[in-house]
């Protein structure tokens, strides 16, 4: 009799347990401090992701700011090992573990942000994301914009490739170094933390970064001209540990995917408005912002892209991606 009474209770408990959704915590390692004016397109993106996930599931999201969990490459390694679930590592960090992603850094690959988004959100971007997951164990939930295009700055206008001849430019990585040297400049690997001082003391004459980064480290104090060359698009994969994602229920995965889609949309819209504000601020600081004509930009492309593509074909794992990327851009125009 006791067994008969216990069995329905045990059965009910087992059914209830089978139908429950396990709680999950997502730890996100971020580079910037929580309050960083002008960079809401990064921190705000993850803040929105957190709000959406927690509002629509029992999962929690813990945002750890200010590089407290280590440098970008360290956090990327932690995500791959499952120590944390997400991080804001950008394209350059992923290049250290997945060389093919560098094809998206090709000089003058994208004519504007809208075409970049079409390519990243389309078949080419999907294939790249699948390859990243297979090689690195990181699932790409989407592609976020890291301030938009990079531009050259110096203490003189850089309206033609010949204007860079003889300058010492701070650029990082061989894909950036090769085009700079093709224009007659010398490339220097200066750490980000030493960039301001190196420009002030003449260790280097110029650099390239997005407008937001230019203002972040007050380069307007040591650079008179910012030329809107727009030679390279800065982006980041919105990555999550694939092992963690695979362990979620279908319902939890849907919540993650929906939150990521909203976060990416917020990022792109905010990045565009922030760049416009950043340009106004740069001009207010007395910097001459030089906008190039289509013909001037084409002249930079004619020098920079061929040597970069030659380097890519000899350096990435799948050199055919160079032509595939170019074709994807043409289809997206």
Instruction: Give pLDDT tens digits for 98-124.
Output: 999 999 999 999 999 999 999 999 999
Distance in angstroms (rounded) separating the CA atoms of residues 130 and 123 = 10
| Residue of 112, 103, 110, 79 lying closest to 238 (CA atoms) | 79
Residue 210 near residue 275, CB atoms below 8 Å: yes
pLDDT reading at 234 higher than 50: yes
**What's the mean pLDDT in 127-155?**
97
Confidence label for 10 from pLDDT (cuts 50, 70 and 90)? very low
Residue 210 near residue 150, CB atoms below 8 Å: yes
| Residue of 185, 192, 178 lying closest to 154 (CA atoms) | 185
Q: Between these two residues, 49 and 193, which has the higher pLDDT value? A: 49
**What's the mean pLDDT in 91-99?**
94
Structure confidence at residue 72 (pLDDT): 93
Q: How many CA atoms lie within 13 A of 152 on its CB side?
A: 30
Confidence label for 22 from pLDDT (cuts 50, 70 and 90)? low
Residue in the block written with tokens 């001037």 = 296
pLDDT reading at 142 higher than 70: yes
Share of the chain above pLDDT 70, in %: 93
**What's the mean pLDDT in 235-251?**
97
Backbone angles phi, psi at 47, to 5 degrees: -65, -40
- Helix or strand (DSSP H, E) at 169: strand 168-170
Structure tokens at 216: 């972040």
User: What are the chain's domains?
Assistant: 22-332 (3.40.190.170)
Confidence label for 21 from pLDDT (cuts 50, 70 and 90)? low
Mean pLDDT of the chain: 93
> What are 201-226's pLDDT values in tens digits?
999 999 999 999 999 899 999 999 99
Confidence label for 4 from pLDDT (cuts 50, 70 and 90)? very low
**What's the mean pLDDT in 5-29?**
57
**What's the mean pLDDT in 307-312?**
98
Residue 235 near residue 116, CB atoms below 8 Å: yes
Structure tokens at 58: 């029992």
pLDDT reading at 9 higher than 70: no
Least confident range from 136-145, 220-229, 270-279: namely 270-279
Q: Between these two residues, 263 and 20, which has the higher pLDDT value? A: 263
> What are 36-81's pLDDT values in tens digits?
888 899 999 999 999 999 999 999 999 999 999 999 999 999 999 9
Distance in angstroms (rounded) separating the CA atoms of residues 237 and 194 = 27
Q: How far is C-alpha 77 from the chain's CA centre?
A: 16
Structure confidence at residue 104 (pLDDT): 97
């Amino acid at each position: 009799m006791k067994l008969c009474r216990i069995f329905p209770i045990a059965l009910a408990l087992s059914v209830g347990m089978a139908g429950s959704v396990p709680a999950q915590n997502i730890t996100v390692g971020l580079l910037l401090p929580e309050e960083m004016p002008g960079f809401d397109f990064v921190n705000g993106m993850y803040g929105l992701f957190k709000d959406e996930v927690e509002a629509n599931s029992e999962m929690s999201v813990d945002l750890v700011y200010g590089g407290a969990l280590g440098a970008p490459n360290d956090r990327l390694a932690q995500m791959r090992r499952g120590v944390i679930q997400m991080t804001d590592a950008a394209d350059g960090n992923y290049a250290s573990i997945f060389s093919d992603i560098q094809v998206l850094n090709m000089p003058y690959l994208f004519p504007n942000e809208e075409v970049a988004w079409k390519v990243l959100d389309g078949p080419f971007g999907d294939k790249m994301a699948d390859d990243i997951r297979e090689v690195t164990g990181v699932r790409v939930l989407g592609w976020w914009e890291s301030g938009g295009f990079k531009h050259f700055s110096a203490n003189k206008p850089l309206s033609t490739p010949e204007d860079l001849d003889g300058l010492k430019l701070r650029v990082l990585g061989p894909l950036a170094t090769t085009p700079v040297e093709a224009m007659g400049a010398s490339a220097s690997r200066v750490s980000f933390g030493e960039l301001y001082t190196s420009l002030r003391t003449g260790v280097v004459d110029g650099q390239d970064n997005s407008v937001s980064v230019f203002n972040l480290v007050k380069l307007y104090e040591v650079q008179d001209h910012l030329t809107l060359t727009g030679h390279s698009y800065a982006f980041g994969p919105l990555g999550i540990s694939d092992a963690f994602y695979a362990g979620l229920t279908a319902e939890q995965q849907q919540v993650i995917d929906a939150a990521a889609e909203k976060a990416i949309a917020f990022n792109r819209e905010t990045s565009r408005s922030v760049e416009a504000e950043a340009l106004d601020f740069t001009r207010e600081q007395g910097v001459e912002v030089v906008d190039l004509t289509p013909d001037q930009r084409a002249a930079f492309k004619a020098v920079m892209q061929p040597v970069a593509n030659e380097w890519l074909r000899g350096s990435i794992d799948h050199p055919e991606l160079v032509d595939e990327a170019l074709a994807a851009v043409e289809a997206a125009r």
